[in-house]
Structure 1
Amino acid sequence: MTIENPRKILHGLSRRRFLSTAAATGAGALGAIAMPYLSRAADRPQITHGVQSGDVGADGGVVWARADRPSQMMVEVATTESFGNARALPPIAALPESDFTAKMLLENLPGGQDIFYRVRFRDFAHTDISSEPLVGRFRTAPSDRRDVSFVWGGDVAGQGWGINPDDGGMVTFATMAKHRPDFLLHSGDTIYADGIISSEVKLPDGKLWKNVTIPEKAKVAETLDEFRAAHKYNFLDDNVRAFNAEVPIFVQWDDHEVTNNWSASKQLPASYKERDITLLAARAARAFHEMYPMRESIVEPGRVYRTLSYGPHLDVFMLDERSYRGPNGPNLQTNYGPDSYFIGPDQMLWLKRALLNSRATWKVIASDMPLSLIVYDDAANRKGSEAFAQGDGPPLGRELEIADILRFIKTSGIVNTVWLTADVHYAAAHYYNPDKAQFQDFDPFWEFVSGPLHAGTFGPNELDNTFGPEVKFVKAPGLDKQNLPPSAGMQFFGHVKIEGATGQMTVTLRDRADVALWSTTLDPKPG
């Protein structure tokens, strides 16, 4: 099924003060806007790819939507689903320069509160004409020690496995939604810009996997519009749009938002007419920031790394392991320098300061790549380094950054750090034990791996012993059965619940059928 036209698919105010403000300003604003959305129905704007929210904190979050034409995004916000006493916010423009996407930061919301938002787009030329409304919701971060629940994973629409209605579409998103999480931590590979989505894929048993397709996914993404289309393709899925309307996203990127294993030294394959990896990455970055509800940095526009605080129990430190890395070479340096950069000195300094300043019970470090799983840049010839791990032995190359961070965490007395990651397309739990490590100047910690959310299943990868990882759990197809389709059932996500009263963190690895594959409960250390 080829889709030519995606429209065819479908600071901590008190709640009382919020509502009184809404009553004072919202009614007048709504009266002035007047939005008679039944007028000229055949020619009014359309919301094309659902609504999203993201980067939610104690007093607000970002909402996103996309129109089909130049228009103004109109947002109303309320603390009840009935939108009683709703507050209307000033309109913002959706223009061709941003592919008709618009993002709005909602501020001055009450903490720990369900927030409902309603989005319309108003025609520029005829301001009495607006689109049908779409409603979304999110929950602001708590100011007290209540329970917190979230899910994480990565890797969507990879290896040619797109939206197959016969298989239920991107089922894992519907499964995650059942847990009513506070947010999704998306660990990267949000798209596969380098991956073609063909109409059919023949399975080993002779059956056919049938994809919904769009013209732009018939080739690798090179133009800005092709990168945009790769993101919009995922939003065609009913499960994804329903999930996005209910669950905020904390998003980071990895390589496939640009091309496989990209770094500044990437030599693009012959399938690319665009030969400049820097220009390709710039187009990809623009599309990425347009398509997700991120809080944008005014210090460094386009920055991905950031701290997201979600109440007294949780801070999430979102890393960017692409923008500042050195070449994907051997990375066997014994001294730290540009060729061994992975997150880079500025981001290293930010992470150390942020960890040191955190007063949250748990410090979750969102790393799009695992620490000790070996990922080759040239997998066929087992050459080059794509990830941190450089093989057994003392820290070399990019591992020098991890050694520095782990030593800093120990010497600074920072407790309760957990690393969450994806990228390798299987589920695992790793306990890092200094007694079994080549580099031992760190306190023990956990790393949990999940994904793919909707892509081919691979693994397991080799582990190196530099930081002493112990495999406590792994679920992977085995090296004789690689690139399993989503219909094989080996699609994985992680679920984290932090108990408000005790601060205990329970991490559960699940599959798309919602089977709990493995779980552990961690007791917080006093800090």
Structure 2
Amino acid sequence: MPDRRDFLKQLALGSSVALATVASHAAEPVTAAAFPSNPFRLGVASGYPTHEGVVLWTRLAPHPLEAQGGMPPVAMDVQWEIAEDEGFRHIVQRGVARARPEEAHAVHVELHGLEAEAWFFYRFRAGGYTSRIGRTRTAPAPEADAPRLRFTVASCQNYEHGYYGAYQHMLAEEPDLVLFLGDYIYETSTRPPRVREHAGPVPRTLAEYRQRHAQYKMDPDLQAMHAAAPWLLTWDDHEVENDYAGDASSHGTPVDTFLRQRAAAYRAYYEHMPLPRAMLFDATALRLYSTWHWGRLADFHLLDDRQYRSMQACGYLRTGAPAGASAGCLPREDDTRTMLSPAQEAWLDATLAATKARWNLLAQQTLFSPLGEEINHQMRYRLDGWDGYPAARQRLIDTLVARHPSNPVFLGGDVHSFMVSTVRNPADAERKPVATEFVTGSITSRGPGQARMDAAVRLHPHLLYANSRRHGYLRIDVTPQQMLVELRGVDSVERMLTDVSTLARFAVTDGKVGARNL
């Protein structure tokens, strides 16, 4: 089998893309002439690994930014293969999937019956073309005492704000898994200066959201990282509309109109991500919240704090909304307001009660710990984050106290800053620590000024570190004894090639809440 590092180098260079005509093991409904060019221009991806399977993804789109990706309105068969080696001499499974026009000719192949804790190579074929080769892996068996897990955490990759050089360095670090925590696309254009330009208008329709996803997927560094390891994902707001809350538009759009827009955005998200089909709950919703096991070493509890949340509290200014658009809002402290929904809260309570993992990773979109600003001797809070939903946050803390899962660690994004904090229980007189928290910086999205971060560290004893100067990701190594977290920052997002450095290193010891600065 080729060396893993050699394969990753090939991914980075794009040399794994093969456009040769190949022998087919099953009849295809179209000929090579049906494609004006390579239909695999959006690359390949895998995700949601179990101990015996994984989801493989691709989409046929010879002209990704055109209507229907440049595809005719007919279904086509796509062959897939998964092998033990990059040369595909030892194929373990193969089959044919149907790419349908109503699903943007996207393909989701859900594999089962694979060997646990093993790496594999995969590819797709259609119309005489072969996709680039992807690399993926399965998780350890459920009762396995896995010795190690390396994964990376990313979020907030505004295309117009810069290049995705962070993924070049992430690729070289050979993670077992990539965890993406929201704002995969951005729906609006930013104010100048822009490093790159969005194609098309601000998306509102299914065709427009498909175009925006396709443009992001065409980025070579993002494609290479998708092809190198399986991903777990959740979304935030920009996949639909900035700061939307449940069925409430942040722009005051009528509910029925906004729900049609949201359904289109959700559909396009599913079509472009390696998600299990079971997450496609119905025509208008996706159930993303779920738990994924890495043997007995770690459980990833993926949360969705955007789809089901209550409207932001009174006092939140809804961008572009007409007067009275926030009618029906409730005070910030109202205990009926939710970030997760009663159903998701009940699911998480039962999940944390049943977990047997050494490390319990609560993967959600944003900063969980309080982060207020003192203005004119009064505390002001960001109402779109957990600070805007204190009762919901307390209920989750109460669940951690009651269920006492082993080594709970919050992982978040959204705030475009690297942050490290200790989650404490405000309902406890001693404010006892209940969890550790790490928030990744953005891949490219611009953050707040560092002066605000420095003031926040001085104001909040639970906040150990805050850096908004640099963009990047978290690299996390987990063993039964400890979790080592490195905050990796690139030098610039305005250049395609950039250096990376470790901004800070923290460790969490098994059985102890809180991060130690190394």
1:284-303 CA distance string (max 9 Å, x none): 11111111001233694421
**1:60 is aligned to 2:40:** no
Which of the residues 300, 304, 310 maps onto 1:326?
Answer: 310
Partner residue, 2:288: 304
Measured in 1, the distance between the counterparts of 2:31 and 2:148 equals 42
Give the aligned residue type for 1:429: V
Q: Is the 8 A contact 1:432 1:469 kept in 2?
A: no
Partner residue, 1:495: 475
Aligned-partner SS, 2:42: strand
Q: 1:464 to 1:225 in 2, by over 3 A?
A: farther
Which of the residues 101, 125, 146 maps onto 2:106?
Answer: 101
Unaligned runs of 5+ in 2: 1-13, 15-22, 62-70, 315-329, 374-379, 491-498, 514-518
Measured in 1, the distance between the counterparts of 2:273 and 2:257 equals 25
Which range moves more in the overlay, 252-261 or 327-336? 327-336
Partner residue, 2:157: 156
Measured in 1, the distance between the counterparts of 2:489 and 2:381 equals 32
Which of the residues 500, 505, 518 maps onto 1:519?
Answer: 505
Partner residue, 1:5: none
Partner residue, 2:421: 430
Partner residue, 1:231: 213
Q: CA deviation at 1:314?
A: 0.9
Measured in 1, the distance between the counterparts of 2:248 and 2:255 equals 12
Q: 1:85 to 1:355 in 2, by over 3 A?
A: same
Q: CA deviation at 1:304?
A: 1.1
Q: CA deviation at 1:264?
A: 4.0
Q: CA deviation at 1:244?
A: 0.8
Partner residue, 2:183: 189
Measured in 2, the distance between the counterparts of 1:298 and 1:422 equals 22
Partner residue, 2:244: 262
Q: What's the C-alpha RMSD, in Å, of the aligned pairs?
A: 3.2
Give the aligned residue type for 1:342: M
Unaligned runs of 5+ in 1: 1-9, 11-29, 122-128, 163-168, 203-208, 377-381, 391-397, 478-489
Q: CA deviation at 1:38?
A: 10
Q: CA deviation at 1:75?
A: 0.8
Aligned-partner SS, 1:134: coil
Give the aligned residue type for 1:304: L
Partner residue, 1:292: 273
Q: Is the 8 A contact 2:335 2:391 kept in 1?
A: yes
Q: Is the 8 A contact 2:293 2:299 kept in 1?
A: yes
Q: Is the 8 A contact 1:361 1:503 kept in 2?
A: no
Q: CA deviation at 1:274?
A: 10
Q: Is the 8 A contact 1:222 1:274 kept in 2?
A: no
Give the aligned residue type for 1:307: T
Give the aligned residue type for 1:140: T
Q: CA deviation at 1:269?
A: 3.9
Measured in 2, the distance between the counterparts of 1:329 and 1:48 equals 43
Q: Is the 8 A contact 2:422 2:435 kept in 1?
A: yes
Aligned-partner SS, 1:448: strand
Q: 1:281 to 1:464 in 2, by over 3 A?
A: farther
Measured in 2, the distance between the counterparts of 1:283 and 1:299 equals 13
- Describe how 1:104-503 pairs up with structure 2 within 5 A: 104-121=109-126, 129-143=127-141, 144=144, 145-157=146-158, 160-162=160-162, 169-193=163-187, 195-196=188-189, 201-202=192-193, 210-211=195-196, 213-214=198-199, 216=200, 219-264=201-246, 266-267=248-249, 269=251, 276-297=257-278, 300-301=281-282, 302-330=286-314, 332=331, 334=333, 336-337=335-336, 340-374=337-371, 385-390=383-388, 398-434=389-425, 443-459=433-449, 460=452, 470-477=462-469, 490-499=470-479, 502-503=480-481
Measured in 2, the distance between the counterparts of 1:66 and 1:320 equals 25
Aligned-partner SS, 2:43: strand
Q: Is the 8 A contact 2:177 2:229 kept in 1?
A: yes
Aligned-partner SS, 1:108: coil
